[in-house]
Amino acid sequence: MYNPKSLKAEEFISHEEILESLDFAESHKNDAALINEILEKAAKRKGISHREASVLLACEDKNVIEKINKLAMEIKRDFYGNRIVMFAPLYLSNYCVNGCTYCPYHLKNKRIARKKLTQDEVRREVIALQDMGHKRLAIESGEDPVNNPIEYILECIDTIYSIKHKNGAIRRVNVNIAATTVENYRRLKDAGIGTYILFQETYCKESYESLHPTGPKHDYAYHTEAMDRAMEGGIDDVGLGVLFGLELYKYELCGLLMHAEHLEAVHGVGPHTISMPRIKRADDIDPDAFDNGIDDDIFAKLCAIIRISVPYTGMIISTRESAEVRARMLRLGVSQISGASRTSVGGYTEEVRPTDTEQFDVSDQRTLDEVVRWLMESGFIPSFCTACYREGRTGDRFMSLLKSGKIHDCCHPNALMTLKEFLEDYASEETKRIGDDLIKRELENIPTDKIRNICSRNLEEITEGRRDFRF
Ligand code: SAM
């Protein structure tokens, strides 16, 4: 039944294989020889399987957890350096025909104000986001074929890319909308999207069906096979995610990694990103009503294990989490974070009460300037770079650059250039001072003359206000 190359959800995410893996993990969690073997394999930086990762997750030995954390930090540093990519979500519409029991946008929620941005409102939101310094967005929408058909989403993408306010521009639009058809994925690809993101929510079919009792999202196979359709439609950067808290985390890790293995086996390229959301309080949603909540230690352990299991996959953590939790996760593997997010429709220019249409409570409420400063003070380089997909570095091209370690040559200078751009255009005096010092130090440390030349030349151009260089 289990077949990672199958295109059928129930064969590549085989329930039996997950249960067997969890049994195996439970009975080998104290098998020191096996655990060492797995850690040695992980240290080769080529990943480990869902079963091996499950053994590590089951193991409670503090020394082993320390070793996993150490390796996760090293892998993070080797593949991603100290760069952290910045983005913001943009909520287009909260009209939704689904019945997801954890999401306040569910059809039966009559308390929440329903709102869909007009193109003028999209323009205003985007200008507000550009004025903060954002260059990369993730658009979000409920599923409603009448109110938010694909044509509406495509029109919004066009509008977003067309706005050039002062020195601002949105250069990459990632899309988080419901599972759709190959034809619609092709249209999204043609509209120039970056990553197509779709959270699985839970990999357990039985729970999935009861958590999504009504609406098109109820169909487990259609949802789980969405990434294959996206890839068939030409989108080669796809982002996976589980909403932690809905099902047993051990089951979810195993399913998530099987999904990554499936994409690699069938399409030759694994997921571009994995998001790590945890269920949060929202309008008519009480996270305590779900039995599978995980504490910060388990959350951190999951993060580190994902990092060493799929070293080539970017990891994302949103403002659902507090600054403290985000700081911890950044060290263990997260490579992208959102900043100054609003999870309501129209939230960046809100005239009505901001919480009226909110999807979930935001824990990290800091401004983008504060988040950027905090990252720099914590030893990271915030990056507003979006070059990869415009330069055609997507799918397996991106992965092979990352695997060869050569991605640093592109990412590091680009991160510094786009940070410089942020500092010049949007930062407070204090953030600019800290950032300029950081860039100066980084330039001194860049080993090859080639990169130093690219960097300093472009930085000069930015300072002079000539923005015709390639990122
Ligand atoms: N509607 C699209 C779909 O069905 O996939 C995606 C957009 S939705 C705005 C983005 C994600 O928010 C969902 O996939 C879900 O995991 C997450 N979400 C929903 N309710 C949440 C809650 N109460 N707390 C945290 N995250 C939540």
**Ligand 1 atom closest to Cα of 287?**
23
Q: Is the pLDDT of residue 169 over 90?
A: yes
CB-based contact 282:362 (threshold 8 Å) = no
pLDDT band at 131 (very low <50, low <70, confident <90, very high): very high
Q: Is the pLDDT of residue 465 over 70?
A: no
- 3 within domain boundaries: no
**Number of structural domains, the chain?**
2
- Rounded to whole angstroms, how far apart are CA atoms 95 and 215? 13
% residues pLDDT > 90 (the chain): 81
Residue where one domain finishes, among candidates 355, 384, 413: 384
Q: Is the pLDDT of residue 469 over 60?
A: no
Does residue 172 share a domain with residue 101?
yes
Distance 409 CA to ligand 1 centre (A): 35
Residue with CA nearest ligand 1 atom 16? 243
Parallel, antiparallel, or unpaired for β 336-338 and 273-275?
unpaired
Residue 444's pLDDT is 80
Query: What is the extent of the structural domain holding 170?
Result: 77-244+270-306+313-384
Distance 26 CA to ligand 1 centre (A): 31
Distance 99 CA to ligand 1 centre (A): 12
Distance 103 CA to ligand 1 centre (A): 6
Residue 115's pLDDT is 95
Does residue 420 share a domain with residue 300?
no
Residue 398's pLDDT is 77
- Rounded to whole angstroms, how far apart are CA atoms 81 and 59? 28
Does residue 329 share a domain with residue 430?
no
- Other CB atoms within a 10 A radius of the CB of residue 431 amount to 23
Residue 450's pLDDT is 57
Does residue 197 share a domain with residue 98?
yes
Does residue 453 share a domain with residue 349?
no
Find all residues with CB under 8 Å of 337, minimum gap 6, and list them: 84, 85, 86, 87, 316, 317, 318, 326, 330, 371
Residue 445's pLDDT is 77
- Rounded to whole angstroms, how far apart are CA atoms 396 and 165? 34
Residue 303's pLDDT is 98
Residue 458's pLDDT is 64
Distance 287 CA to ligand 1 centre (A): 13
Average pLDDT over every residue of 35-51? 98
Residue 362's pLDDT is 87
Average pLDDT over every residue of 305-328? 95
Residue 10's pLDDT is 97
pLDDT tens for residues 180-225? 999 999 999 999 999 999 999 999 999 999 999 999 999 999 999 9
- Other CB atoms within a 10 A radius of the CB of residue 232 amount to 15
- Rounded to whole angstroms, how far apart are CA atoms 3 and 222? 18
Burial environment of residue 203 by CB neighbours within 10 A (0 to 12, 13 to 18, 19 or more) = buried
- 190 within domain boundaries: yes
The reply to whether the predicted model has a pTM over 0.85 is yes
Does residue 410 share a domain with residue 347?
no
Does residue 411 share a domain with residue 290?
no
Mean pLDDT score of the chain, rounded to an integer? 92
Residue 410's pLDDT is 75
Average pLDDT over every residue of 81-96? 96
- 182 within domain boundaries: yes
Query: Which residues have any ligand 1 atom within 6 Å of their CB?
Result: 102-103, 140, 142-143, 176-178, 198-199, 201, 217, 243, 277, 279-280, 282, 285, 320, 359-360
**Ligand 1 atom closest to Cα of 91?**
9
Q: Is the pLDDT of residue 145 over 50?
A: yes
Q: Which residues pair with 88 in a beta bridge?
A: 137
Residue 447's pLDDT is 65
pLDDT tens for residues 323-366? 999 999 999 999 999 999 999 999 999 765 555 677 777 888 99
pLDDT tens for residues 89-128? 999 999 999 999 999 999 999 999 999 999 999 999 999 9
Residue 417's pLDDT is 86
Residue 37's pLDDT is 98
pLDDT tens for residues 246-304? 999 999 999 999 999 999 999 999 999 999 999 999 998 999 999 999 999 999 999 99
Does residue 367 share a domain with residue 298?
yes
Residue with CA nearest ligand 1 atom 11? 199
Which residue from 94, 95, 103, 322 has its CB within 8 A of the most atoms of ligand 1, so it is best to mutate? 103
**Ligand 1 atom closest to Cα of 198?**
5
Residue where one domain finishes, among candidates 322, 349, 384: 384
Average pLDDT over every residue of 403-413? 75
Distance 455 CA to ligand 1 centre (A): 39
CB-based contact 176:235 (threshold 8 Å) = no
Residue 471's pLDDT is 44
Residue 394's pLDDT is 81
CATH code, domain carrying 128: 3.20.20.70
